[in-house]
């Protein structure tokens, strides 16, 4: 049996965001290929014993403090080195500057992979100080994975390491989305209707909710915003009768809402949106999508004119036109939704991602 150690700043049960969900999917899927996974992360609720989560193990190092939004831990060095000694592969998830430091200081010589989820976007002023550490780390690892060909082509950092970079698109499987609960669908139909534009996800600064609100103000088309976060107050304060805000919802609720929606709208306008797992869910559900051209994985998931409409970021008139186009031409919307499901089956399934990672693991061990 092969053993893989994943290292990332947060993990279950403390957090289950996009990167954590990818790690979970890889770890659970790889277990069916005789690969045992451990995940080391930082946590304020530090416990020495490993937790069994699904078919793998979650380990916690004590989170001591933050510097520039980066979690740091003194005992992570020893914890990482101990777990790495029993691992055949170290799998890092970038970006997290503290991870780079741990790798370089620990002196662990096991084969190593970095999944490069995103460039550093928000902390650009600190990049001159961090860049030497980042380059030393990326120079040392054996393989780098980009999550889409679009991101590999648009990232100056990945271009520097193109020779050892492989593209493995993120894949998801969710039986609830493929077959939503009929009773739940009817409950939500009674509450919010059907044929609306759906946004679903964390309401963060880079999600572009302000542009969706303004477009909805102009076209008065029905919009359901499912999620909570920093931008929730902007949605509430807009007080538009055609926008329904659902701050709390379950995965089963999300599946029902996707089933009832006309289209999925995803107006993220900053490169912090590196892939867009919510778009994968929309494609899985067979819904046409509206997203922005960011040079990231969003345009790998949503192909302009085929699976939906891609617009310039932060362009309210373009978002308004895209919404009106899908609203008025239901046949085109249906064709795009069907194409989105085909694209999902061909390129965005969890099984394809897992098979690619297991193959990469085995090649590195050889």
Tokens of 136: 């030393």
Structure tokens at 290: 């509206």
| C-alpha 191, offset from chain centre | 29
User: pLDDT at position 68, please?
Assistant: 74
> What is the structure's pLDDT at 67?
82
How far apart CA 263 and CA 319 sit, in angstroms, is: 13
Question: How high is the pLDDT of residue 45?
Answer: 83
Domains 2-171+349-365 and 175-347 share a fold: yes
Helix axes 182-192 and 251-260, enclosed angle (nearest 10) = 70
Instruction: Classify 117 as helix, strand or coil.
Output: coil
Q: How many CB atoms lie within 10 A of CB 317?
A: 12
Homologous superfamily of 2-171+349-365: Glycogen Phosphorylase B; (3.40.50.2000)
Q: How far apart are CA 211 and CA 363, in angstroms?
A: 45
Signed CA dihedral, 224, 342, 325, 182: sign only: negative
Rounded to whole angstroms, the Cα distance separating 143 from 121 reads 23
Q: What is the pLDDT along the chain (366 residues), one digit of tens a residue?
A: 999 999 999 999 999 999 999 999 999 999 999 999 999 999 998 777 899 999 999 999 999 988 877 889 999 999 999 999 999 999 999 999 999 999 999 988 999 999 999 998 876 767 888 999 999 999 999 999 999 999 999 999 999 999 999 999 999 999 999 999 999 999 999 999 999 999 999 999 999 999 999 999 999 999 999 999 999 999 999 999 999 999 999 999 999 999 999 999 999 999 999 999 999 999 999 999 999 999 999 999 999 999 999 999 999 999 999 999 999 999 999 999 999 999 999 999 999 999 999 999 999 998
Q: Could you tell me the residue ranges of all domains in the chain?
A: 2-171+349-365, 175-347
- Rounded CA-CA distance 83/6 in Å is 10
Highest CATH level, class, for 175-347: alpha beta
Distances (CA, A) of 165 to 89, 118, 142, 158, 290: 17, 14, 9, 7, 29
User: What pLDDT shows up at residue 218?
Assistant: 98
């Amino acid at each position: 049996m092969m053993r893989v150690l994943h290292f990332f700043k947060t993990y279950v049960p403390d957090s289950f965001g996009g990167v954590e969900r990818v790690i979970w999917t890889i770890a659970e899927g790889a277990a069916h290929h005789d690969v045992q996974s451990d995940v080391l992360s930082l946590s304020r609720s530090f416990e020495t014993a490993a937790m069994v989560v699904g078919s793998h193990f979650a380990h916690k190092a004590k989170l001591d403090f933050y510097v520039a939004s980066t979690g740091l831990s003194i005992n992570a060095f020893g914890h990482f080195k101990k777990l790495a000694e029993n691992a055949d592969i170290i799998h890092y998830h970038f970006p997290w500057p503290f991870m780079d430091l741990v790798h370089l200081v620990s002196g662990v010589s096991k084969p190593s992979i970095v999944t490069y989820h995103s460039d550093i976007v928000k902390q650009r002023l600190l990049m001159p100080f961090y860049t030497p550490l980042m380059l030393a780390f990326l120079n040392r690892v054996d393989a780098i994975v980009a999550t889409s060909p679009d991101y590999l082509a648009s990232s100056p950092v990945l271009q520097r390491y193109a020779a050892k970079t492989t593209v493995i698109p993120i894949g998801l499987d969710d039986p609830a989305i493929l077959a939503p609960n009929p009773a739940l669908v009817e409950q939500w139909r009674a509450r919010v209707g059907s044929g609306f534009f759906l946004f679903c996800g964390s309401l963060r600064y880079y999600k572009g909710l302000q542009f969706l609100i303004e477009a909805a103000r102009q076209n008065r088309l029905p919009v359901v915003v499912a999620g909570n976060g920093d931008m929730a107050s902007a949605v509430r304060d807009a007080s538009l009768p055609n926008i329904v805000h659902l701050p709390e919802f379950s995965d089963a609720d999300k599946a029902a809402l996707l089933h009832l929606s006309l289209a999925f709208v995803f107006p993220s306008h900053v490169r912090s949106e590196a892939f867009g797992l919510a778009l994968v869910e929309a494609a899985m559900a067979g819904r046409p999508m509206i997203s922005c051209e960011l040079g990231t994985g969003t345009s790998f998931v949503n192909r302009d004119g085929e699976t939906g409409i891609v617009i310039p970021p932060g362009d309210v008139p373009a978002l308004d036109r895209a919404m009106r186009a899908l609203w008025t031409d239901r046949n085109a919307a249906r064709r795009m939704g069907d194409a989105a499901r085909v694209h999902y089956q061909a390129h965005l399934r969890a099984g394809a991602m897992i098979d690619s990672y297991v193959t990469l693991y085995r090649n590195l061990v050889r």
